Amino acid sequence: MNKAPEHTDPVQREITRRTIVSFTIFFICIASGIYLFSRLYSEPQSADKVQPTLRKVLVANEKLFSLFYSKTRLAKTFKKSDVAIKARVNGGVGMEGTLDTVIWRLKVVRNPGDTLILTLNDLKALPKTEVVFDFKCVEGWSQVTYWGGVRFSDFLKKYNLVAQSCKHYVGMTTPDGTYYVGNDMPSMLQPQTLLCYELNGKPLPQNQGYPLRLIIPVKYGIKHLKRIGTMFFSNEKPADYWAEKGYDYYSGL
Ligand SMILES: Nc1nc2c(c(=O)[nH]1)N[C@H]1C(S)=C(S)[C@@H](COP(=O)(O)O)O[C@H]1N2
Ligand SMILES: [Mo]
């Protein structure tokens, strides 16, 4: 009689064939996903606490993004009316106690054994630049904030730090040396990067880096070192607090 017409119906046969193919592909994808995931997570972590494969991806990203990086590309700026009423405070490493500008000095290591020593007034004597931008923390929050200080590139020019500006990196540490960051020179020379001494037109609060902090809008918050003590220049990547804990060294936006 009319038995099993689906075996001979070409449409039905095609549907069956496609269903089998789809499920096979589906299971292959799931299986390879599980395989790759377990391989990645069983990789021994290297000294920087990241699996070597993930580190390779971060390094590749960094190379790719630095190809497109331009010193003239600006971070998006905002109007002062967009500024958050209360600037959030985050991260207190190297911020113990209060700091007095009677004793504080900025130490600029021009070369090993040759350190320029500056007061806050020396920096305030330079032209002031302001920036209102969206400050982003890797923890997942962001806030429009308003900062003022000396453009890093103006500072280098004023103090004739020409040879230093040819180095690949700038390192900074808090006076007690417990928080430290390294930033690449192209990002430091970007015109919105400030040696910053003001928040909302007033001196920085102690917990936000008084008397001097870095503001570098092309980077995540981890790179904006608060309470600068010492600054130095080098062709090797300076030590970096969060990079040592596995975060991306570049941390660009
Ligand atoms: N000295 C010092 N600077 C620091 C940190 C820190 O712990 N110590 N934390 C960083 C992080 S993770 C962020 S998000 C910003 C926060 O700056 P804010 O307190 O002005 O919001 O400071 C950065 N600079
Ligand atoms: Mo952060």
Q: Give the domain ranges of the chain.
A: 73-245
Sign, CA torsion 74/248/54/142: negative
Q: Is the CB of 206 under 6 A from ligand 1?
A: no
Q: What is the pLDDT of residues 4-13, one digit of tens each?
A: 555 678 899 9
* Distance from residue 123's CA to the centre of ligand 2 (Å): 26
**pLDDT exceeding 90 applies to what percent of the chain?**
79
Q: Which of 160, 231, 163 is nearest to 193 (CA)?
A: 231
Report residue 89 as tokens. 């405070």
Best residue among 224, 231, 241, 248 to mutate for probing ligand 1, ranked by most atoms within 8 Å of CB: 224
* Distance from residue 15's CA to the centre of ligand 2 (Å): 53
| CA dist., res. 193 & res. 214, Å (int) | 7
Q: What is the pLDDT of residues 149-191, one digit of tens each?
A: 999 999 999 999 999 999 999 999 999 999 999 999 999 999 9
Best residue among 142, 226, 227, 245 to mutate for probing ligand 1, ranked by most atoms within 8 Å of CB: 226
Q: What is the pLDDT of residues 28-72, one digit of tens each?
A: 999 999 988 888 888 887 766 778 888 888 888 878 877 776 666
Whether the predicted pLDDT of 16 surpasses 70: yes
| CA dist., res. 168 & res. 191, Å (int) | 17
* Distance from residue 60's CA to the centre of ligand 2 (Å): 23
Please tell me the pTM assigned to this model. 0.82
Q: What is the pLDDT of residues 108-159, one digit of tens each?
A: 999 999 999 999 999 999 999 999 999 999 999 999 999 999 999 999 999 9
Whether the predicted pLDDT of 83 surpasses 70: yes
Residue nearest to atom 6 of ligand 1 (CA): 91
Q: Is the CB of 229 under 6 A from ligand 1?
A: no
What pLDDT is attached to residue 57?
A: 84
At the topology level, CATH places domain 73-245 in Sulfite Oxidase; Chain A, domain 2 (3.90.420)
Q: What is the pLDDT of residues 219-231, one digit of tens each?
A: 999 999 999 999 9
